[in-house]
Amino acid sequence: MIDPVLSALSRLSSAEEFLDYLEVSYEPEIVRVNRLHILKRFQKYLLTASAPEARSESELRFFYRGLLEQAYQDFVSSTPLQEKVFAVFRRPALERKPAAATVAVEDLRSSLRGGCTGSRAPAAPGSDLRSGGARS
């Protein structure tokens, strides 16, 4: 037998649609910030939970509502970083690459002490662009 509630859920796309369909009360700000995390956690709960034996539509709806409510509540009192839903949050800090290159303050100071002659800075290694984006 096809689960009518899961069939209906498969046609939904946004976290708000899931929450509205299963009649879960929510704060829009919490969903706005955590929508993907909530849906990913709901998916995890769906995959690990066993649907009730008595499978009336109202019982199934109640069961799925409980799973979604639990997923939502996980992010009411916690953050995505604490919950570690996605793999990027589970990697050790040493594996994470820095977001941007770093430059020592002293290097910046020494380059400023050299004076600005009004000429453009040399292109980055391996680039055919000069500073400012102009091609030579």
Per-residue H/E/C for the chain: CCCHHHHHHCCCCCHHHHHHHCCCCCCHHHHHHHHHHHHHHHHHHHHHCCCCCCCCHHHHHHHHHHHHHHHHHHHHCCCHHHHCCCHHHHCCHHHCCCCCCCCCHHHHHHHHHCCCCCCCCCCCCCCCECCCCCEC
Q: Report which of 120, 119, 118 is spatially closest to residue 130, judged by C-alpha positions.
A: 120
Stated pTM of the model: 0.59
- Average pLDDT of the chain is 77
pLDDT value, residue 111 = 82
Instruction: pLDDT band for 50, please (50, 70, 90 cuts).
Output: confident
Give the model's pLDDT for residue 56. Answer: 86
Q: Is the pLDDT of residue 22 over 90?
A: yes
pLDDT-based confidence at residue 91 (cuts at 50, 70, 90): low
- pLDDT surpassing 70 at residue 58: yes
| pLDDT above 90: residue 123 | no
Query: Which token pair is 74?
Result: 């996980």
Alpha-carbon gap, residue 85 to 88, rounded angstroms: 9
Give per-residue pLDDT as tens, 28-49.
Answer: 999 998 898 899 999 999 999 9
